[in-house]
């Protein structure tokens, strides 16, 4: 058959089918042939080539027909001429149709959506260039593959089953895939998948048109999250929320605690603040609203309202929704119940006033107590010493005037009475000195401790005749202190040192200083009997003695006085010692002269 030869010349192109249709097939049937089934040819080239081939074929056919004409009869010639005209007309129409198909194909090739065509098993027969853009798979690699290479595993088998059920039943399926690109990145694509029917009405292919909607999905997700966040925020807020227009008309509300509402919603929605609330509160709210209309927001307005729950205090914050100046502008008013806070503040003020009153009262009581204490020590000073003086005095007179007539034991007893009276006198004197320390004002000035030490040593030397005492005075830097009190410190410490070295053949006493934590620490060190460090905590207590009165006389007040003086200076005193190995007392009156 001659037309078949033409098809061969055209190289088996689909045009063969087109030409064939001139003789045997309907136009509809030819159009039904799927050009994409011709694997291995680029479609635009195919169509461009097809048009040229069709024209070539036409010319060739013409020539052949005219050669034949010579051998054919006239009747046959006329038939052929007629046929030829018909052919020419048909071909013109075909060329137009092919151009149309090429145009559509170009659209598909250039489309910003992925288009694939598969066989009935789902194997990809065609993919447009955008397929590569959206999936990362080159078209050449995708061909012959199943679209399941894009599966991310994020969707259920049922999802895919429904898709297949639809298209195998001849329906179009729409849906969104969560797919995976070649590089593993997930993306969302909205797909329309539909069957393509062959000439017999049977499904011969499936086609899918897919659009990447990742950004839209993400935007929707972000929107959803923002909405959820807002919703949660609002749920967490205990506050009343109103939406009002610029005239203060209530448009909407949200009341987590409806009992805080001044009126039922149906009585205020659609009405203005001024119509609903008492004038005073409405005025404050309208002012705040006017400020928000100018500046976009306003916070901190406070007003009181009689609510069903009693008198309440409320704090108002208003913010414009969008443009505050818009004539149809809307505002969100957030109303916080601060009744508790206001009450608490009132309570705090009341308590403060009460506390101040109490402080005044206590101060007065303390003043009285202090006066009583002063009266007490005054009385001690006057009245306790007189009887002691009598005891001591008359014992002494007895001894002096009647001594020779008294047995020696009686004389001894009188001595004991005298000794005790004198000891009690010293105790009273020391206690009074200690109590005076708390009352005396401190007059700090720069002091040279070495001068004080020399004075003290001179005064104490009177009682030390016949003893071997080596005294070393190091360089002592100046400090800020009350000179009289600091001198008392040295008197007590050095006389202690002298006292507790009585048993030593040579008493050694060193008065020195050493740097400590940025300030100067003075010390008085001796080689006396020392003490057990276990009792160091008792050292500075009133009436605390670490040695018996038989061994070393004393009242147990001296170190308490020293500590009181150092503490009044804001300083610190401590001691280090070992039994039988001497003791060192360290102290630091705060505020060395260098600091000031």
Partner 1 sequence: MMIEKPVDILLVEDNPDDVELTLHALKKHHLVNHIQVVRDGVEALDFIFGSLGNSPKVILLDLKLPKVDGLQVLQRIKSDPRTRSIPVVMLTSSHEERDVIESYRLGVNSYIVKPVDFGQFAEAVRQIGLYWLLLNWPPEL
Decide if residue 378 touches partner 1 (CB under 8 A).
yes
| Spatial separation of the C-alpha atoms in residues 379 and 365, rounded to whole Å | 20
Question: Minimum CB separation from partner 1 for residue 554, in Å?
Answer: 16
- In whole angstroms, how close is the CB of 374 to partner 1 at the nearest point? 9
Site string for partner 1, 422-461 (x = CB under 8 A): x-xxx-x---x---x---x---------------------
Pairing status of strand 479-481 against strand 445-447: antiparallel
Contacts with partner 1, 197-236, as mask; x by CB under 8 A: ----------------------------------------
Cβ atoms 325, 351 nearer than 8 A: no
CA dihedral 171, 174, 176, 182 (to 10 degrees): 60
**Residue among 71, 382, 405, 534 that touches partner 1 (CB under 8 A):** 382
Q: What share of the chain is helix, strand, coil (3-state, %, to 5)?
A: 55, 20, 25
Rounded Cα distance between 129 and 138, Å, is: 8
**Beta strands 507-516; 469-473: pairing state:** parallel
Binding test (CB under 8 A) with partner 1, winner from 59, 386, 409, 462: 386
Region of 1-9, 38-46, 74-82, 383-391 interacting with partner 1 (CB under 8 A): 383-391
Q: Footprint of partner 1 on residues 348-377 (CB under 8 A)?
A: 377
Task: Return the residue of 14, 114, 421, 456 that touches partner 1, per CB under 8 A.
Answer: 421
Figure out which of the listed residues 11, 270, 387, 503 binds partner 1, where binding follows CB under 8 A: 387
Smallest distance from the beta carbon of 558 to partner 1, in angstroms? Answer: 18
Least separation in angstroms between CB 503 and partner 1 = 26
Q: What is the rounded CA–CA span in Å between residue 506 and residue 527?
A: 9
Burial of 500 (0-12, 13-18, 19+ CB in 10 A): buried
Please, what is the minimum distance in Å from the beta carbon of residue 429 to partner 1? 8
CB nearer to partner 1: give 159 or 402: 402
Q: CA distances (Å), 106 to each of 48, 73, 143, in order?
A: 11, 48, 19
Query: Does 4 sit near partner 1 (CB under 8 A)?
Result: no
Tell me which residue of 371, 311, 373 sits closest to 337, measured CA to CA. 311
The residue from 186, 222, 344, 397 that contacts partner 1 (CB under 8 A) is: 397
Please tell me whether residue 388 binds partner 1 under the rule CB under 8 A.
yes
Which of 288, 300, 301 has the alpha carbon at shortest distance from 331? 288
Q: Does 568 bind partner 1 (CB under 8 A)?
A: no
Nearest distance from residue 439's CB to partner 1, in Å? Answer: 9
Looking up tokens 């990809």 gives 124
Check residue 381 for interaction with partner 1 (CB under 8 A): yes
Q: Which residue, 95 or 417, has its beta carbon nearer to partner 1?
A: 417
Alpha helices in 380-448 (DSSP H): 385-402, 408-439
CB neighbourhood size of 384 (10 A) = 15
Among 396, 454, 504, 568, binds partner 1 (CB under 8 A): 396
Stretch of 171-179, 222-230, 386-394, 545-553 lying at the interface with partner 1 (CB under 8 A): 386-394
Q: Which own/partner pairs from 99-104 qualify as long-range (CB within 8 Å, at least 24 positions apart)?
A: 99/47, 99/51, 101/35, 101/47, 102/43, 102/44, 102/47, 102/48, 102/51
Instruction: Give the residue with the Cβ less far from partner 1, 193 or 388.
Output: 388
Distance of CA 540 to the CA centre of its chain: 50
Contact call for residue 44 and partner 1 (CB under 8 A): no
Return the SS3 of 86: helix
The verdict on 463 binding partner 1 (CB under 8 A) reads no
Nearer to partner 1, 321 or 439 (CB): 439
Q: What is residue 331's three-state secondary structure? A: strand
Among 41, 160, 253, 394, binds partner 1 (CB under 8 A): 394
Give the three-state DSSP class for 440. Answer: coil
The residue range among 21-29, 231-239, 394-402, 480-488 that interacts with partner 1, by the rule CB under 8 A, is 394-402
Stated as kind and residue range, the H or E segment containing 173 is: strand 173-180
Task: Name the residue nearer to partner 1 (CB basis): 55 or 484.
Answer: 484
**The one among 337, 392, 482, 526 contacting partner 1 by CB under 8 A:** 392
In sequence order, which residues have a C-beta less than 8 Å from that of residue 43 and are 6 or more positions away?
Answer: 35, 36, 102, 105, 109
Distance of alpha carbon 61 from alpha carbon 563, whole angstroms: 134
Which is nearer to partner 1, 59 or 386 (by Cβ)? Answer: 386
Q: Tell me which of 154, 227, 389, 445 binds partner 1, using CB under 8 A.
A: 389
CA distance 536 to 75: 149
Does an H or E element contain 31, and which? helix 27-31
Size of the site for partner 1 (CB under 8 A): 27
The distance of closest approach from Cβ of residue 400 to partner 1 in the complex, given in angstroms and rounded to an integer, is 9
Nearer to partner 1, 258 or 393 (CB): 393
Residues contributing to the site for partner 1 (CB under 8 A) = 377-378, 381-383, 385-390, 392-397, 418, 421-422, 424-426, 428, 432, 436, 440
């Amino acid at each position: 058959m001659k037309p078949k030869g033409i098809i061969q010349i055209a190289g088996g192109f689909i045009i063969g089918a087109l030409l064939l249709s001139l003789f045997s097939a309907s136009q509809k049937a030819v159009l039904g042939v799927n050009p994409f089934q011709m694997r291995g040819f680029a479609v635009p080239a195919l169509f461009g080539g097809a048009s040229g081939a069709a024209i070539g074929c036409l010319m060739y056919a013409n020539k052949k027909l005219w050669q034949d004409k010579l051998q054919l009869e006239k009747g046959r010639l006329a038939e052929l001429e007629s046929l030829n005209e018909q052919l020419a007309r048909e071909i013109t129409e075909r060329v137009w149709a092919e151009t149309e198909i090429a145009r559509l194909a170009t659209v598909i090739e250039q489309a910003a959506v992925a288009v694939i065509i598969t066989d009935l098993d789902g194997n990809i027969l065609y993919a447009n260039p955008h397929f590569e853009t959206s999936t990362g798979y080159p078209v050449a690699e995708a061909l012959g593959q199943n679209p399941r290479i894009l599966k991310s595993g994020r969707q259920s088998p049922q999802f895919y089953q429904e898709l297949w059920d639809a298209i195998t039943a001849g329906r179009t399926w729409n849906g969104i895939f969560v797919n995976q690109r070649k590089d593993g990145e997930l993306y969302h694509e909205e797909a329309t998948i539909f069957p393509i029917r062959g000439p017999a009405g049977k499904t011969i292919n499936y086609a899918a048109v897919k659009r990447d909607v990742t950004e839209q999905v993400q935007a929707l997700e972000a929107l959803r999250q923002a909405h959820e966040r807002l919703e949660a925020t609002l749920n967490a807020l205990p506050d009343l929320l109103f939406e009002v227009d610029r005239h203060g008309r209530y448009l909407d509300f949200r009341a987590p605690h409806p009992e805080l509402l001044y009126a039922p919603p149906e009585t205020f929605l659609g009405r203005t603040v001024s119509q609903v609330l008492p004038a005073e509160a409405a005025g404050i709210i309208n002012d705040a609203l006017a400020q928000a209309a100018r500046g976009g927001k306003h916070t901190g307005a406070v007003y009181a309202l009689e609510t069903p729950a009693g008198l309440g205090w409320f704090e108002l914050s208003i913010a414009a929704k969008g443009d505050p100046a818009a004539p149809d502008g809307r505002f969100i008013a957030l109303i916080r119940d601060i009744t508790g806070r206001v009450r608490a503040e009132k309570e705090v003020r009341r308590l403060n006033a009460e506390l101040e009153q109490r402080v005044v009262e206590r101060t007065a009581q303390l003043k009285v107590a202090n006066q009583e204490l002063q009266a007490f020590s005054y009385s001690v000073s006057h009245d306790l010493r007189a009887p002691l003086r009598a005891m001591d005095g008359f014992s002494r007179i007895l001894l002096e005037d009647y001594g020779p007539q008294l047995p020696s034991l009686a004389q001894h007893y009188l001595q004991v009475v005298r000794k005790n009276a004198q000891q009690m006198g010293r105790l009273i004197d020391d206690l009074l000195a200690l109590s005076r320390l708390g009352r005396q004002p401190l007059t700090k000035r720069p002091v040279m401790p070495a001068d004080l030490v020399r004075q003290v040593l001179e005064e104490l030397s009177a009682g030390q005749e016949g003893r071997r005492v080596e005294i070393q005075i190091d360089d002592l830097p100046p400090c800020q202190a009350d000179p009289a009190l600091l001198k008392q410190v040295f008197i007590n410490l050095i006389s202690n040192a002298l006292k507790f070295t009585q048993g030593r053949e040579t008493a050694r006493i060193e008065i020195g200083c050493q740097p400590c934590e940025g300030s100067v620490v003075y010390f008085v060190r001796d080689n006396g009997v020392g003490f057990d460090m276990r009792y160091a905590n008792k050292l500075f207590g009133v009436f605390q003695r670490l040695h018996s009165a038989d061994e070393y006389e004393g009242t147990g007040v001296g170190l308490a006085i020293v500590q009181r003086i150092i503490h009044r200076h804001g300083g610190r005193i401590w001691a280090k010692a070992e039994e039988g190995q001497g003791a060192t007392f360290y102290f630091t009156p705060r505020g060395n002269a260098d600091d000031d």
